[in-house]
Amino acid sequence: MRQGLSADLIKRILGASPKWTIMQLEEKFPPRNLADGAMVTRFAPSPTGFMHIGGLYQMLINYKLANQSNGVFMLRIEDTDTKREVTGAVELILDTAVKFGLMPNEGVSETGNYGPYLQSQRKDIYHSVVAELLAGGAAYPCFLTSDEMEEIRENQKLAGLPTGIYGEWARNRNLGEEEIIKHLNNGEIPSIRLYSTGNPDQKIFCKDGARGSIAFPENNEDIVLIKSNDGLPTYHFAHLVDDHFMRTTNVIRGEEWLPSLPLHFQLFRMMGWAPPVYVHTSTLDKIDAETGKQRKLSKRHDPEASVANFLEYGWPTDAVLEYLLNIASSGYEEEKTKNPNTNLWNYPIKIKKIPMSGALFDMKKLEWWSREFIGAMSIDDLTGKIIGWAKEYSPEWKKIIHSHEDYLKSILSIERDNPKRIRKDFVTWKQTLEEVLYFFDELFISNTDFDFNKSALIAFISGFDISDGKDIWWNKIVEIANGLGLKNGDVAMNLRVAVTGRTNTPDLYSIMQVMGHDRVVNRLQKAIG
RNA sequence: GGUCCCAUCGUCUAACGGUUAGGACACCAGAUUCUCAUUCUGGUAAUACGGGUUCGAUUCCCGUUGGGACUGCCA
């Protein structure tokens, strides 16, 4: 067993004596008292900007796994990179949880006995753990500067070696106390590195809940545990400490973490802690416009993939979730057609079904989910959602709709009475309003390209009675057509274009009924000129 | 370069080692007493390649190719 550091020196390195022993932390955060099979999951984003559709995918899976097993879903903010942190990002994440109905049971802004849930507030916990590692010789202070590390990397590249601080390249891994003190007296602040005992010639078998067992070379890198600039942990160390003491049972995360899995197993093994069940989800991809190749949907390059963007366009949140759910667990779609009671919230997902290959984000399919979802909504719900969207995202529409909420409702009701024949041309709230914009006089634009048959329009006005039933209304059109030697459809098209400005619309009779006598006649007269 | 992951219609996927390789989206065609949408019917379309193992391979093994991730005191 390697010689560790003295308590005094550890205190000096960390700036303070550890607040707790690991034993005390075990008592402070005892194993959870949950039923068998209950999963404790977490969504653990870093607050570096906007929420991304891939993040929402993660959030959904974690939420459902916890929820369907009567477990606990936590929201933990990984704000250990102070340089990249963006103000307001936490609020954005919370806002996403609220809007999509994926509220955590524990986490920032929620209560919970396993917090704090902001990593920046857990420094004492990390330091307490790392102090024992230093005392036991499993970690050591490292005074390498970034210039020195850069030089090491260059040399390794030149020599065709793997880059990193390991073995003989880890020049500080066996510093004696006197040398450490000398550095300290020099005013240098060390990072704390793992004293890795892994041997890359050996294999370590790591289990992934969906992929099975994966063999990796053991990790021999002395990775940083605690960063020198702010004393905060790196992802790896924070993951170890947090997911142990938060008693996470299932870590669902993106496949970008797969390469560090052997390290994480090593860390848990070193501590004598049981590792969680890991599941590494595949990426959500797109075809890159420039290279023509498939690649991960990225925060930086694909602003259209931001959750905020979906919200601004007014995609129904449940439809987005259903699309995502079907990717995470492809049986959902089929089960839903078989059993109409199946929905997003009651359909259980299976870890083993989570796909391992990257999926192209398919807007067409999303649109289909959305059409179906909107088609199945009640008219009150639909109207309410659209009004709610306009209030939050569109001052223009808000103003227009404001005094016409009942009118809007009757507009949206057109061809919605027969459940088998509901229109499915509404996709997003924004697009829905644009679809029906001609109903509003402020927005109606008369069609000046269309060559109206004015006699037909005049004839229609003279016989027009808003109280006519549909058959009578149609018969009048037929009569006009016969009288002028036109086709029925031609007369209908003349009326349609005059009244709506468009050649494609829903049922004309319903439109006129909703618009009312005056508006219809006005527009017809306008077309006549 | 090194390590690892992945590979069924255009897309998302289903198929105890034995199926005419199924479904959904998209697309095309036809029907549905006014256009559009809806609805209904039909259709085009896939196991990347090469070796094994096996009576039999989409399925198991190996290799090749292709795609992806990681290789930071970022997560």
Q: pLDDT tens digit string along A78-124?
A: 999 988 889 899 999 999 999 999 999 999 877 789 989 999 999 99
- Categorize the per-residue pLDDT at A260 as very low, low, confident or very high, splitting at 50, 70 and 90: very high
Domain boundary among A264, A281, A298: A281
Residues 6+ apart with CB under 8 A from A335: A342, A347
| Nucleotide of closest approach to A365 (CA, C1') | B25
| Residue A384: per-residue pLDDT | 96
**CA A100 to mean position of chain CA atoms:** 9
Residue A114's nearest CA partner among A258, A264, A248 is: A248
Q: How many other C-beta atoms are found inside a 10 Å radius of the C-beta of residue A465?
A: 10
Cis peptide bond prior to A355, omega within 30° of 0: no
C1' of B47 to CA of A343 (Å): 32
Pairing mode, if any, of strands A294-296 and A277-281?
A: unpaired
Report d(CA A488, CA A494) in Å as an integer: 10
Query: Does a structural domain hold residue A324?
Result: yes
Per-residue pLDDT at A206 exceeds 80: yes
Phi-psi region of A111 (alpha: psi -120 to 50; beta: other; left: phi over 0): beta
Residue A458 sits at the vertex; the CA angle it makes with A454 and A459, to the nearest 5 degrees, is 115
C1' of B18 to CA of A147 (Å): 64
| Nucleotide of closest approach to A225 (CA, C1') | B73
Question: What are the tokens at A282?
Answer: 């595949």
| Nucleotide of closest approach to A189 (CA, C1') | B73
Computed over every residue of chain A, the mean pLDDT equals 93
Report d(CA A510, CA A413) in Å as an integer: 9
Query: Does a structural domain hold residue A12?
Result: yes
Smallest Cα–C1' distance to nucleotide B73: which residue has it?
A227
C1' of B4 to CA of A61 (Å): 24
A317 and A276 share a domain?
Answer: no
Name the residue range of residue A312's domain: 288-375
C1' of B74 to CA of A151 (Å): 20
Smallest Cα–C1' distance to nucleotide B34: which residue has it?
A489
Report d(CA A511, CA A431) in Å as an integer: 18
What average pLDDT score do residues A173-201 get?
Answer: 94
- Which string of b and e fits A228-262 if b means at least 16 CB within 10 Å? beebbbbbbbbbbbbbbbbbbbbbbbbbebbebbb
- Categorize the per-residue pLDDT at A204 as very low, low, confident or very high, splitting at 50, 70 and 90: very high
A197 and A258 share a domain?
Answer: yes
What average pLDDT score do residues A470-476 get?
Answer: 92
Question: What are the tokens at A99?
Answer: 């809007």
C1' of B45 to CA of A364 (Å): 18
| Residue A385: per-residue pLDDT | 97
C1' of B7 to CA of A353 (Å): 17
Q: Which position has the higher pLDDT, A38 or A1?
A: A38
Query: Does a structural domain hold residue A75?
Result: no
Which burial class, exposed, middle or buried, applies to A499 when counting CB atoms under 10 A from its CB (0-12, 13-18, 19+)? buried
| Nucleotide of closest approach to A238 (CA, C1') | B75
Integer CA distances (angstroms), A120 to A40, A78, A89, A510, in order: 22, 8, 15, 60
| Nucleotide of closest approach to A150 (CA, C1') | B72
C1' of B62 to CA of A371 (Å): 47
A265 and A321 share a domain?
Answer: no
A298 and A197 share a domain?
Answer: no
Query: Does a structural domain hold residue A80?
Result: no
Q: Give the helix, strand, coil percentages of chain A, each rounded to 5.
A: 50, 10, 40
C1' of B29 to CA of A423 (Å): 22
Smallest Cα–C1' distance to nucleotide B39: which residue has it?
A421
| Total structural domains within chain A | 4
Query: Does a structural domain hold residue A126?
Result: yes
| Nucleotide of closest approach to A235 (CA, C1') | B75
Domain boundary among A375, A397, A421: A375
Query: Does a structural domain hold residue A93?
Result: no
| Residue A389: per-residue pLDDT | 97
Report d(CA A84, CA A47) in Å as an integer: 8
- Single-letter amino acid code for the residue at A488: N
Question: What are the tokens at A89?
Answer: 């990002």
A258 and A299 share a domain?
Answer: no
Per-residue pLDDT at A196 exceeds 70: yes
Domain boundary among A225, A259, A281: A281
Question: Which percentage of chain A shows pLDDT scores above 90?
Answer: 85
A155 and A14 share a domain?
Answer: yes
A478-507 per-position pLDDT tens digit: 999 999 999 999 999 999 999 999 999 999
Pairing mode, if any, of strands A284-287 and A359-360?
A: parallel
| Residue A459: per-residue pLDDT | 94
C1' of B19 to CA of A330 (Å): 21
Report d(CA A158, CA A53) in Å as an integer: 40
- Categorize the per-residue pLDDT at A56 as very low, low, confident or very high, splitting at 50, 70 and 90: very high
A247 and A164 share a domain?
Answer: yes
| Residue A116: per-residue pLDDT | 95
A337 and A369 share a domain?
Answer: yes
What ipTM did this prediction achieve? Answer: 0.94
- DSSP assignment string, A333-348: HHHHHH-TT--TTTPP
Per-residue pLDDT at A299 exceeds 80: no
Domain CATH number, residue A468: 1.10.10.350
Residue A267's nearest CA partner among A218, A227, A232 is: A218
| Nucleotide of closest approach to A232 (CA, C1') | B73
Integer CA distances (angstroms), A211 to A103, A258, A277, in order: 28, 11, 11
| Residue A1: per-residue pLDDT | 58
Query: Does a structural domain hold residue A87?
Result: no
A276 and A301 share a domain?
Answer: no
| Nucleotide of closest approach to A488 (CA, C1') | B34
A244 and A161 share a domain?
Answer: yes
Per-residue pLDDT at A244 exceeds 90: yes
Smallest Cα–C1' distance to nucleotide B37: which residue has it?
A423
What average pLDDT score do residues A464-477 get?
Answer: 93
What average pLDDT score do residues A443-448 get?
Answer: 89
| Nucleotide of closest approach to A293 (CA, C1') | B67
Which nucleotides along chain B are within 7 A of a protein C-beta?
Answer: 1-8, 10-14, 23-26, 34-39, 67-75
C1' of B10 to CA of A81 (Å): 41
C1' of B15 to CA of A353 (Å): 14
A276 and A134 share a domain?
Answer: yes
Domain CATH number, residue A15: 3.40.50.620
A210 and A324 share a domain?
Answer: no
Query: Does a structural domain hold residue A385?
Result: yes
Smallest Cα–C1' distance to nucleotide B2: which residue has it?
A162
| Residue A518: per-residue pLDDT | 95
A343-377 per-position pLDDT tens digit: 999 999 999 999 999 899 999 999 999 999 999 99
C1' of B67 to CA of A333 (Å): 27
| Nucleotide of closest approach to A510 (CA, C1') | B34
Per-residue pLDDT at A293 exceeds 80: no
